[in-house]
Homo-oligomer: A and B are copies of this chain.
Amino acid sequence: MEKSIFYHAGCSVCVSAEQDIINLIGDDNVEVVHIGENRSRIDEAENAGVKSVPALLTPNGNVLHINFGASMADVRG
């Protein structure tokens, strides 16, 4: 299975959701990207349809926005 990508920005909502997602789908099946630190990937996330973090981009290209930590506008600052 192709990997999912979990985008987050380090907020407490993000970290909690990250642990849940890793527990559910397995560490090997998800790439975790901190777009607050790895800002070069903000464009990639937005192009994939990410509107807020935390969000999970599935292998088939759907975006699951999980709870609500921060909007992408807040991440850009």
Contacts and interface: CB of A to CB of B under 8 A. Distances in A.
Interface string A6-50: 000000000011001101110001000000000000000000000
Q: Across chains A and B, which 9 residue pairs bring their CB atoms closest together, nearest first?
A: A24-B25, A20-B58, A64-B66, A65-B67, A20-B62, A25-B25, A66-B66, A20-B64, A17-B64
Contacts of A17: 64
Contacts of A60: 20, 23
Interface residues of A, number: 19
A60 B67 CA distance: 16
Contacts of A16: 62
Given A17-B64, A23-B60, 15 more contacts: A4-B24, A16-B62, A20-B58, A20-B60, A20-B64, A21-B64, A23-B58, A23-B59, A24-B25, A24-B29, A24-B58, A25-B25, A64-B67, A65-B68, A66-B66
